[in-house]
Amino acid sequence: MSLNDKVVLVTGASSGIGAAIAIKFASEGAKVAIVGRNEKKLSNVANRLQAVGSTPLVINADVAKDDDAKRIVSETIGHFSKLDVLVNNAGIGNIATIVQENTMDVYDQVMGTNLRAPVHLIHLASPHLIESKGNVINVSSIASKCVISDNNLAYGASKAALDHCTKYIAFELAPKGVRVNTINPGYVRTDILEKIVQNEDFENLIWKSMMNSSPMHRLCETDEIADLALFLASDKAKGITGASYVIDSGALLLGGKRPPLES
């Protein structure tokens, strides 16, 4: 599934799924632009891409800011002169219940990053994707298809809306030769908990709970998501658009909700 000379733009690429996708695509010959807010982590990912023979375009930006979004696309086109694949991976998982004082602040933040930003980037990138007959991969979640917890209203709603927007955009762009799909991961082993959990024992309990949400008793790995993204971006998926690909180790078979923590 070679992507030789294809130009790929990956948001949320400073760690986790986004970093794995960027590295996977680079190893298949793609020219990659990586976007993230954490400059240090982004630099580390750039070094990993160079180790597989690719020198990426590094863009330190926040996709939720309109001026940054415009800069992301303009710098990519300015550097590579085209765009073949847009991977909207950037997202946040801020939590709040419906009764909390800050519920609407959290809702607006999550919707801004997880829904408005990818739609805006597709809007900005669409002329270039039409020219290249390219494609878009939106990284969603199984939270779009089930209730994963009692404090993920904003996150689940943002991902459900992203899934549906994907179908509408896919329908609009199909006659122009552009494909648009989503990947819906379940629980994936990343460094996300390091940002919100300071206790290693408690972090391990959370990972164990996530593993118990799967009938296979396993977490997905970032490389598995990257492999699926590579397939969807390649010509092997030329007949696939408007689709949602679940990769969750079977978590939806058990309802998708994370079991209570066990001591």
Residues belonging to the active site = 155
DSSP one-letter string for 91-103: -----B-TTSTTH
Name the token pair of 3.
């992507």
- Which residues of 61-154 form beta strands (DSSP E)? 85-88, 135-139
Instruction: List the beta bridge partners of residue 7.
Output: 31
> Is the CB of residue 147 less than 8 Å from the CB of residue 156?
yes
Amino acid at position 35, single letter: V
> Is the CB of residue 85 less than 8 Å from the CB of residue 34?
no
DSSP one-letter string for 2-41: --TT-EEEESSTTSHHHHHHHHHHHHTT-EEEEEES-HHH
In 3-state terms the chain splits into helix, strand, coil percentages (rounded to 5) of 50, 15, 35
Max CA distance (Å), the chain = 55
DSSP character for 191? S
Alpha-carbon gap, residue 135 to 4, rounded angstroms: 15
Alpha-carbon gap, residue 91 to 81, rounded angstroms: 27
- Angle, alpha carbons 115-142-111 (nearest 5°): 20
Residue showing tokens 């300015």: 78
Which among 104, 253, 115, 245 is positioned nearest to 184, based on CA atoms? 245
